Structure 1
Amino acid sequence: MWTHFEPVHAVTYFHPRARAAYEAVGLRGYWRGYFAGRAAPLGAVGAPSVVAAFFSFAPAMVARALPSVWRLATPEEALRARLTGAVQALAEFTYELPESHLVEAADLLEEAAGHVEPAGRVLGAVNAALPRGEYPLARMWQAATTLREHRGDGHVAALVGTGLAPAEVVAWRCRVDQSREFHQAARGWTDDEWAAAEERLVEQGWLTADHAPTEHGTAVFRAVEEATDRAALGPWRALGAERTARLRELLDPIATRCRTIIPPKAPIGLPAQRGVSTDATSSAH
């Protein structure tokens, strides 16, 4: 289900209309829109809260955006901008689908999102508490976002349990299947911080001396992924197998279209889609 609702949420990062909506309220530059839009449900928070909740970003990178972005746009303005941009993006991808399709998908997503567990899930909880959207695409995007952040909160909890620091998690993943060239810049870690993280991974048995993933590291990270899935099961158990399958069917054409604008190297982790071309020239990066 994550592979179906994550692309719906991700239009807020990669679609030109989403970027334009942030710019319209004074949030020029990709990272201003990103940090303001994603953090806005928390209120006018400073860098420490976002470092904690977002997990993988270097504190110095977060501090360049927060709290200064709130002088450009209030959290309320950022929330309106992110929803406006997301709805405009989804409208472009769903105009051929009948209204009944969109309404049913929004209804089922909202029902699932209504069963997220708020305890220990900061971003999931604050998104779940936002007012319900008025139209199907707004309801669909907000529900997908709530489910996405709820799942992400569970993933962060599982990562904390490994004892690894954020830089170590990002560096290790880039030794497995991701690009250091992209991810180091996208998360703001310096060369010295990266090198120190890799040395700690060697000391802790996650990487070999020549910086290859160890069996121990691979096994623990597989357990993290399994724990993430378990922590995210509640909404789908509540929705039930039959209606979850129906929602997957409804989201499939929407998610497929949304994925066309997600750059291949984006630090989201979605598995590749066979037979679907991906536009790597998105204005988001």
Structure 2
Amino acid sequence: MTDRQHLTRALWTLFEPIHAVAYFDPEAREAFAAVGLPRYWDGYFAGRAAPLGAIGAAPVTAIFSGFAPSLVERALPAVWATVTPDAALEARSTGAAASLRALLPDTGAVARAADALSDVAAHADTVGRPLAAANRALPTEPDPYRRLWQATATLREHRGDGHVIALVAGDIAGLSTILLRSGLDLDATAMQRSRGWSDDEWQTALDDLVQRGLIGDDGRTTAQGTATLATAERLTNALAVGPLAHLDDAGLLELAALLRPLATAVGTLFPYPNPIGMPEPWDPESDPLAARIPHEPRA
């Protein structure tokens, strides 16, 4: 991993928790319930897929990766009989902003971070990245909390789309990824349940990975499986560099200085490790690479 890829991944840990509030903070989820989507997965799939329009289950299953088709089919396309995509977009923005406003009372700091991150999101290369493209095309929000969250959505989905590309390239997309991670550091029972996979589907995919030498007979990910995941992660990091290419390393650290206090405050909502694979927010002060970059410390 190059220095720039390292810094790009580090910055992801600062905007990912800000984005995650829309789907994991109970206050944010209340906005979906208010428009007739009280069930968690109905709100999740409607909110996250809404930038793509009134889309069906098959393309969402493919684009999101990792979810059982049957789980997605229970929500889509049925949710569009209850809410329009525009209403779902409004619900997710309203919920995310309410959550962030409660967690981040310094409106000035939020506005500065929103402006800086929106500039980065505007530089996102979206060819082959459907979720990033759809989110970047949404109108700019005047409210700083909404604008901050929307910028994180574009960048999070940009990285996520690239991650799916990397997993497909490694022939470990979909359920295979979950099984490999469950053989390392995630709770297999919780992951199977939350992603909607049946016992038969889980076992069939597990048997395939055992046959390929990526998982051992004990259910643990092998050295070969770990290396395959690491290769996909390196490609993910390489594909995520684009939106930050216009910033030099000092500019990257300036952006990190704006985001870290917000990410740290929001990060208290989440356990580490967590089911979405989100690391703890990066601390540039404890990173030897960051220490070597000349920059003006923020007061």
Task: Give the structure-1-normalised TM-score.
Answer: 0.92
Give yes or no for contact 1:5–1:148 (8 Å, CA) kept in 2.
yes
How many pairs does the alignment contain? 272
Matched, 1:72 2:72: no
Give the Å deviation of 1:201.
0.4
Superposition RMSD in Å = 1.4
Report what 2:163 is aligned to.
155
What does the per-residue CA deviation read over 1:156-202, in whole Å, with 9 as the maximum and x for residues that have no partner? 00000112341121111101110112111111001111111111001
Name the SS for the 1:267 alignment partner: coil
> Residue type of the partner of 2:127?
A
Q: Deviations over 1:177-233 (max 9, x none)?
A: 101121111110011111111110011110123332222111111011110011000
Residue ranges of structure 2 left out of the alignment (5+ in a row) = 1-10, 283-299
Following the alignment from structure 2 to structure 1, what is the Cα–Cα distance between the partners of residues 168 and 62? 11
> Does 2:244 align with 1:240?
no
**1:42 paired residue among 52, 73, 80:** 52
Give 1:14 shift. 1.5
Name 1:249's counterpart in structure 2.
Answer: 257
Do the aligned residues in 2 keep the contact of 1:108 with 1:243 (CA within 8 Å)?
A: no
* Aligned positions of 1:1-285 closer than 5 A: 1-95=11-105, 97=106, 99-264=107-272, 266-272=274-280
In the other structure, the counterpart of 1:278 is none
Q: Could you give the per-residue CA deviations for residues 111-149 of structure 1, whole angstroms, max 9, x where no partner exists?
A: 100111110001011000000011111111000110000
Q: Indicate how the Cα distance of structure 1 residues 272 and 94 shifts in structure 2: closer, same or farther if over 3 A, else same.
A: closer
Distance in structure 2 (CA, Å) of the matches to 1:196 and 1:127: 35
Matched-pair contact (CA < 8 Å) for 2:103–2:266: yes
User: 1:271 and 1:45 mapped to 2: Cα distance?
Assistant: 31
CA distance in 2: counterparts of 1:107 and 1:273, whole angstroms: 20
TM-superposed deviation, 1:271: 2.3
CA contact (8 A) 1:167 1:197 kept: yes
Name the TM-score, length of structure 2 as normaliser.
0.88
**CA distance, structure 2, for counterparts of residue 181 and residue 264 of structure 1:** 17
Question: 2:62, 2:27 → 1: CA distance?
Answer: 29
Classify the secondary structure of the residue corresponding to 2:246: helix
Q: Is the 8 A contact 2:215 2:225 kept in 1?
A: yes
Identity of aligned residues (%): 47
CA contact (8 A) 1:179 1:265 kept: no
Q: Does the 8 Å contact 1:106/1:140 carry over to 2?
A: yes
Task: Say which SS state the counterpart of residue 98 (structure 2) adopts.
Answer: helix
Counterpart CA distance in 2 for 1:263 and 1:69 is 30
Question: How many Å separate the matches in 1 of 2:63 and 2:173?
Answer: 13
Contact in 1 for aligned 2:267/2:280 (Cα 8 Å) = no
- The aligned residue for residue 286 of structure 2 is none
